[in-house]
A and B are shown apart, each in its own frame.
Chain A
Amino acid sequence: MADKIKFAFLLTGGCAGCEMSLVDLSESLVDVLDHLEVVFWAPTVADVKYKDLEAMPDQSIDLAFVDGMIRLSEHEHMAKVLRSKAKVLVAFGVCASLGGVAGMANLHPRKALFDTAYIDSPSTDNPEGIYPQPKCVVDGKYELTLPEFCDRVRPLTDVVTVDYMVGGCPPHHEFVAKLVTAIVEGNLPAKGSWLTGGKAVCDVCDRNPANEQVNRKTITEVKRVVDGNGVLEEKECLLQGGYLCLGAVTQGDCNASCPKVNIPCRGCGGPMPGVTDFGAQALSSIGAILENEEVAERMVAKYPDMAKMMYRYSLPASLLGRKIKGQ
């Protein structure tokens, strides 16, 4: 057998859910581990320190995954270190690829984010109103530091060259299994591509009217899941039923897991190949199938934040990238 693939996994600003989806491979992970030698998996799994990675020779890691967005200076630093050590770098999951859910923070000023996190949230007990500082001196002599909070969330692709991107929040474990096999077999597309089956969520969705050779009708109703309108028929298209579902423009490597359980697609899979701005494309395709302008107006009234709706997972990677101050 050929040498084992030297593998690294770095968590930056994410929740480690993507790492869970790799661990979710369960038995197949055991087979895969025959081919992988984990040289670095931090800060979550392996007992290695950042300095151990810094000490490794350049280009000594064959394959590195990063999950999470770039939120802190630490993330940026470690992503750059890993890039120089790794031959192939994969943005694993939608946070690393497009910024993820936390990317919506780009619509709020830093002060509002800090107030929510350290003052206002119900679980916070902070009577003195202390905010984290990048530097502080303890007992008058020990200087302690924390990473800097960057002025906005960025996807990994904004700070280093990324070889492959994988969508999903997190990537579906069945897809991860296929992916890891493809990687182990060296069966990869051109660098810079998304690793995807190339089908949209609608393509793999049981609710797609096309499965019954029925043409899609235009949308006349606008509903929201939170309104509790009851459950649609098993085979009824959510979009057709009035729910804003982004399955048509989202990579379907998840096998339509959300629509299967009555939840409209929110686009975590990332854009179909060839699309630069996920939200704009989503808006375009939804706009095109609304019955008329009156329905569009109702949609605007029903969904109070269109940017958060369309860019739920991709705001930092969008053309505008963040909320602009007073234009």
Chain B
Amino acid sequence: MEYTPNIVGFACQWCTYAGADLAGNLRCKYPPTIKLIRVPCSGRVKPEFILDALAKGADGVLVGGCHFGDCHYKDGNRKTANRMILLKKMIADMGFEPKRFRLEWISGAEGQKFADVVSEFTEELIKLGPNTIVEENAA
């Protein structure tokens, strides 16, 4: 069977989530690989959520937040940006290809960007192949 990546997306309700809505309204085309979870702010995304998604076999994780200066809670996205730099390194230390994780700033007006990011990410994950952690742990 052909492999279709499974992406878990955490989208800030004020921007990326609205951006995803707009992508729909604009009839932008992107692969049906992403499962979007709405969060109040990208700062709400605990690193634990991302590890949990990877541990449960997600092939990729996308976190989407407001551009700097646009966060509704002032600096939620800046905290996220710092955390994700550390996290990316930690995931790599745990044996994951850091490209499985992506942080993007996508505003509510950037429907096209949302579609492009998902398409690009999907392609990259196809190149990387599936996340085999679940099989590996069962073995």
Interface residue ranges, A against B (CB under 8 Å) = 107, 276-277, 279-281, 283-284, 286-288, 290, 292-293, 295-297, 299-300, 305-308, 310, 318-327
Contact = CB atoms under 8 A, between A and B. Distances in A.
Contacts of B51: 277, 280, 318-320
Nearest to A279: B90
B107 to A, nearest CB: 19
A308 B93 contact: yes
Contacts of A292: 78, 82
Contacts of B131: 327
Contact of B79 (A280, A288, A299): A288
Interface in B31-85: 46-48, 51-52, 54-55, 78-79, 81-85
B83 A327 contact: no
Contacts of A287: 47, 79, 82-87
Contact of B95 (A277, A310, A324): A324
B93 A296 contact: no
B30 interface: no
A308 B52 CA distance: 18
A323 B47 contact: no
B133 interface: yes
A104 to B, nearest CB: 11
- The B interface is mostly helix, strand or loop, or mixed, namely helix
Given A288-B82, A288-B83, A319-B55, A276 B95 contact: no
B93 A284 contact: no
Contacts of B86: 283, 286-287, 296, 299-300, 306
A305 B91 CA distance: 10
Contacts of B84: 287
18 contacts: A280-B51, A286-B86, A288-B82, A288-B83, A293-B82, A299-B85, A300-B86, A306-B89, A307-B93, A319-B51, A319-B55, A320-B51, A320-B94, A321-B55, A323-B95, A324-B136, A326-B95, A327-B131
Contacts of B137: 321
- Scoring B83, B90, B96 by chain A CB atoms within 10 A of each residue's CB, the highest score goes to B90
A319 B48 contact: yes
B89 A295 contact: no
Given A293-B81, A319-B55, A310 B90 contact: yes
B97 interface: yes
A323 to B, nearest CB: 4
Interface of B: 46-48, 51-52, 54-55, 78-79, 81-87, 89-90, 93-97, 100, 128, 131-133, 136-137
B84 to A, nearest CB: 8
Given A288-B83, A290-B82, A307-B93, 6 more contacts: A283-B86, A306-B90, A318-B51, A320-B51, A323-B93, A324-B96
Contacts of A318: 51
Contacts of A310: 90
B96 A284 contact: no
A296 B103 CA distance: 15
A293 B85 contact: yes
B97 A327 contact: yes
